[in-house]
Structure 1
Amino acid sequence: MRSLALLAVLALSLALVAPAGVGAAGVSVDASPTDAETAGVDGVVTPLPGQESPDGQRNETRVLVVPDGAVQKSEVDRATLNLGPAAEFNGNVSAVEVETEAVVEHVRAAESDSERSRRIIQASSTVETEIITLRDRQQAAIQAYNDGDMSTEAFVVELATIAAKAEALEARIERLNQLADDIDGFSLSRPAEIRYELRTFGGPVRERAVDAIRGTDDSVQFFVTTGPEGYELAAVDDGVYLREAFRGAEQSGDSTATMDGPATINVTRESYPEIVRSADASVNFAGTTNIVTVTKQNHTLTAFVDSGTEDVFKEYQRFGLSQYHSPSTDSNTISGITVSVNQTYPGGPLRIHVSDAESGEPIDLAITLSQGQSERMTVGRTGEDGTLWTVSPRGSYTVLAVGGETTAAYLETNSTDAPTLGA
């Protein structure tokens, strides 16, 4: 196993659309975190104090990362989805959906409430078993990718497939819960806990992979990092930055552990103080998995908190790039052309700008990225405003601005340290 950072930035035909079913539900109430009241058996919502940062600009929110010492390998890759992955993906999801319809009909066919209840319980238990299977499947994919037995494309497709199956299983639980509500004196056990556990397999980057596999949009660059028990995924598309990360080491595995809403909010506030201190947060809590959603202007954060460790073990982030400000910059001028970047952490939103060194006017050139002796990867063009957004590689890399058949200018630079949780 190589002690290298695992980075994969790939031009993959994965579409970017709004994530489905990833937010925590709830009803906002006017209360401080310590005065929050429960909203039903599985949710509480707590508005947080509105306090803007001193400069009103910096929004480099902290991120959940695979620790540097645990990251496995690094590569720049380019792949294109084809009909093979799409066919296999659709087959996986369709099988779950067909089985759900069969399960519903089986429940409805019961001749008594007692038998219907028994069949609902059995079907719910099957979903819980599927959660274990999905968890094992995800870990197997991470291990295979770390070992070099799975390509970047195959890894992203596998995570997308797991996410789609989890979403289909959540739909099944909803159907079972509705059937249970129709039976007097009976209710389904742990529906909220099951839903929240299934949502740990989703995320905005995976959702966009799902959409692309189904054949809708153009290619984007992807950042992929994995460690022994976790991963990071990130992408930039149409002025929006998307990120999700998972760390299995932050899960206790204690199915009996619980947390209340205020405690979950406090963990999230300590982990992401920059965004939580000036935004409203909602939390759904049930069992060992608690989901906090924080929204501030065009920035959405979803944090998953484990009741046993009382730590964030998964996050989703989505925000518009127009209000993103990086704390450091780097530039180089060659032959009257300046290439500059707003440096950012590995997988963070990277702004590349090309301009005339004398007049400052933007220049439209093709941009490539490379690391070491690896092949250059075409990222795109800077356009009329001279600006191109992508995701940052890990470590040192070279930005090349190319005009015609000649290299106009280049910049050798590097990523910065990530603003990690608890830093």
Structure 2
Amino acid sequence: MRFYRLVALLILGVIYVLIFLYRGNLAFTLFGDEVHFWPTVLLFSKEPIPSAHLLNNYPEVIAPLPFMIAGWVINAFGHSIQYLRILNFGLSFGILMLFLKLSPNAGRFWLAALGLVLFPYYYFCSTIFYTDIVALTFILMGWVFYIKKLHWASCLFFIAAISSRQYAVVFPAIILCYEISPAVFRFISWQESVRWVLKKPYLIYYVIAGLTLIGWVIFWHGLGPAPEVARQKYNDTVHKLTYNPGFVLYASACLGLYYVLPELLLTRKLQFYALESKQRPWLIGWVMLIGLMITFFPAQQMYDGFFVVKNLGFFDRHLELIGIVGTAKQLIFGALMLLTVLRFASPKSGLAGWIVLLNLILMGKAHIGWDKYLLPTIATLWFITLVDKHWPLSKIKKEQSLTAVSV
């Protein structure tokens, strides 16, 4: 083991022990969604292999795999929510260890690790039993095996991710778009493009993974168990042909805040592709689009008849706490969205650009706005900073190293 990995392991181990003690050994009373998650876990604990009836009628709109896993855990260790929080806490630590294992050097590891833990919902979801960390673990393992070109294994992990949170379907879709887009952008003829795609037979694994969601939709006759979908009024939002650009504005601002700014501050390097000469003609269009969104589709919470939430999440709430509301708040969102555009709005963004584009499009169909929904997006962006092929600054640093050696 490299010395920096041992040091990082010890530092993070101590931090996690201190958090565990600070949070009362994760044995506090039920919090937030745990209030209804816990009874659902108990239902699945009674059926370790769930029946079709249970899968069609459990009282959640979230896919069932985390509740199945939670049922197995409490059957093995005891009927306490503490064990499920410890599961999430351990997976959270494991994700950072995964980053450490894959990091090419100490600087890159601490960049990705600090970037991830600066996102407040990583800590939030790591210390309670929400389903996000289980889904995130499967998503990141899917990316690991995609990078390693073990596509059958990647497929299995993405299937598990989609069976944990339905939105995870966006990640195999990202891979398909990224892999197929060169045939579209360099289009010569349909026949040539088809032949080019057929040279990548492994893409079928990501089609299969994506079809998992269609399987669940057919099984449920919707995006979740029908009784709970009706009770939470999802049919009034997610299932209708409605779209909320304000949620896209807020999600873009959060990406600017939680990824673009930390990357800029921690690396002290600009990678604003939209400022390059070939992209500048588009820049005024982006500024006009952001202005239109601020004016006609401001970022504000949607009251869907079931959820009554005052704000859009951590960032929105803290702006309001210091008195930034109304137009001033929307202008801040717009400025941060522009940062995200500058960083990703170019074909040169590669895989990261597709990650951002498809996830932002997805946010417009969310039933409520919440920066927590960006956890898998932000975690994936920090993950690919560890991969030279997909993080442009790694090429810059290598070129600088080669120049120094030649001098």
TM category, shorter: under 0.3
Q: Normalising by structure 2, report the TM-score.
A: 0.24
Point out the structure with the larger strand share: 1
Please state which structure has a larger fraction of its residues in helix.
2
| TM-score w.r.t. length of structure 1 | 0.23
From the CA coordinates, give the structure whose radius of gyration is larger. 1
